[in-house]
Amino acid sequence: MTATPPVTPEPLPWLEELPPRQIVAELDRYIVGQGAAKKAIAIAIRNRWRRSQAPEGIRDEITPSNIILIGPTGVGKTEIARRLARLAGAPFVKVEASKFTEVGYVGRDVESMVRDLVDAAISLVRAEREDEVWPHAEERATERLLDLLLPAAAAEDVDPALKERRKASRAKLKQQLIDGKLDDREVDIEVTPMNYPNPDSMQPPGGMEGPESAFTDWLMDMLPKKKKRRSAKVPEARRILEDEELRKLVDMDETVNEALDRVENHGIIFIDEIDKIAGERNTTGPDVSREGVQRDLLPVVEGSTVQTRYGYVRTDHILFVAAGAFHVSKPSDLIPELQGRFPIRVELEPLTEKDFVRILTEPENALTKQYSALVAAEKCKLDFTADAIDEIARTAWIANDRMENIGARRLHTVMSALVEDLLFDLPDGSERTITITAEDVKQRLASVVQNDDLRKYIL
Ligand SMILES: Nc1ncnc2c1ncn2[C@@H]1O[C@H](COP(=O)(O)OP(=O)(O)OP(=O)(O)O)[C@@H](O)[C@H]1O
Ligand SMILES: [Mg+2]
């Protein structure tokens, strides 16, 4: 279904139009440290733009600098992908390598990542186009609403005075409509009943993906459907009409063409957990299909043509970023051809206790900011002293050291243990500032930290 009003509040900058330093600065807003990884990604992204400026002859020769990110658990690999997804402005998908199976086996084949990317591009371009035509759609919806609100005057054409009056009252009504003064009025409107596709009944033909794409929704909406007349309040009627107008104003063919072009020249596929398909060699069982998945991946990463339901897509210039912890396997356990497709290897650093302090406070989505926002909903202000932050970081560090090292993920568990009681007790009828001190942290987490069993379960 179309989101109305359009989703993007402000147009995002195209990441690839920014100089690499600025791309890094964008990532810095959310990810602490990992400078080497950010740098490699920034260069690879900017190279997309540089390539688009290059003369045609050489343009096809410039292949993307695919990257493989290697680093321990919880240091920001997947988080980088999440941020790229929001920032890229280019079609982006993140897939988990472990979800794929070799062609011929039950499961997702690797080419589906390209189809997903096309879906993402269609949503992206469609949202952009809808943003562009939005004022127009809004205006047209308003006029149609006015038609519904003003009973037609049969004598309109013959009586100029009546025509004038009608014009005046329409103008007045329009103002009232815009001011929301008619929100309680009902109008008769043709609506298409919501229909929820039955997933079983509409599996697309072989090789095609399931029905859950934005574009399927769109296609469903385009199909002629039985309309029903019913009355609706003005705000609802407005939404329905705006939606219809948006649909009429956005050219579907143009959207598809643009989306396919974006995929081919600017698309980014992030393959997470690539270490999971790097089985040890010469093993039997499931590992055989791991190597199969790698072999299936090869042509996609190297450049091939994938059939999607909107047309063929060449993958030659799609940028691939892979990531893996490589606890058990090593990058060299990937088949050599695949290793060759990821020429840029970047190691992510283990995080330090100092990094933890920064992660807790600096990113725009920092945990302390998230919890403060939750508490603010209960009309209280949540503050952490600098000592408290240090203590949280230290606790997480100790827990990582004594148990399994799960990196910054530990901060989530420590924080949630810390604020659990508070979140349970609020609202307590007061509007106050709650300051968490180092003493509070020690007190609340002491029992957990000292007790081995508790530590295992709670942190
Ligand atoms: N460098 C970082 N800056 C900010 N937050 C981070 C950083 N690294 C990790 N985090 C936090 O820790 C959580 C887990 O990190 P992430 O999912 O990126 O781990 P990962 O490196 O992908 O590990 P795994 O190999 O286990 O998948 C993130 O959701 C984020 O909140
Ligand atoms: Mg991860």
Q: Which CATH number covers residue 372?
A: 1.10.8.60
Structural domain contains residue 458: no
107-115 mean pLDDT: 87
Centroid of ligand 1 to alpha carbon of 102 (angstroms): 29
Question: Which among 113, 100, 33 is positioned nearest to 347, based on CA atoms?
Answer: 33
Residues 381 and 417 in one domain: yes
Return the DSSP state at 151.
Answer: P
Report the CATH number at residue 70.
3.40.50.300
Whether residue 312 is found in the same domain as residue 360: no
Distance, CA of 145 to CA of 318 (rounded, Å): 45
- Is residue 382 in a domain? yes
**Within-domain flag for 140:** no
Calpha distance 392→395 (Å, rounded): 5
Among 328, 347, 366, which residue terminates a domain?
347
Query: Is pLDDT at 199 greater than 60 in this prediction?
Result: no
In the chain, % of residues over pLDDT 70:
84
DSSP, residue by residue, 197-243: --GGGGPPSTT---S-SHHHHHHHHHS----EEEEEEHHHHHHHHHH
- Domain end residue (candidates: 242, 257, 272): 257
Ligand 1, atom 24, lies closest to the CA of: 73
Is 267 within the bounds of a domain? yes
103 and 168 share one domain: no
Judgement on whether residues 366 and 412 belong to the same structural domain of the protein: yes
* Residue 335 belongs to domain spanning: 15-120+258-347
Q: Which atom of ligand 1 is nearest to the CA of 359?
A: 4
Same-domain status, 382 and 340: no
Inside any domain, residue 103: yes
Whole-model pTM? Answer: 0.82
Q: Which atom of ligand 1 is nearest to the CA of 367?
A: 31
pLDDT > 90? residue 165: no
Looking at 329, 347, 365, which one is the last position of a domain? 347
Give the total number of structural domains in the chain: 3
Asked whether residue 151 falls in the same domain as residue 185, the answer is yes
Cβ atoms within 10 Å, residue 441: 24
- List pLDDT tens digits, range 12-42: 458 888 999 999 999 999 999 999 999 999 9
Averaged over 347-369, what is the pLDDT? 95
- 300 alpha carbon to ligand 1 midpoint, in Å? 27
Residue with CA at minimum distance from ligand 1 atom 15: 74
33 lines ligand 1 (CB under 6 A): yes
Is residue 446 very low, low, confident or very high in pLDDT (cuts 50, 70, 90)? Answer: confident
> What's the pLDDT score for residue 8?
45
Mean pLDDT, to the nearest integer, of 424-445? Answer: 91
Higher pLDDT among residues 152 and 158, named by residue: 158
Atom of ligand 1 nearest to the CA of 79: 18
Residue 126 domain flag: no
If asked whether residues 249 and 262 sit together in one domain, one would say: no
Instruction: Note whether residue 136 is domain-resident.
Output: no
| CA neighbor of 390 nearest in space, from 434, 441, 445, 351 | 441
Q: Note whether residue 240 is domain-resident.
A: yes
Token pair 């993958």: residue: 315
What is the spatial distance between Cα 28 and Cα 370, in angstroms, rounded to a whole number? Answer: 18
Among 90-104, 392-406, 440-454, which range has the highest average pLDDT? 392-406
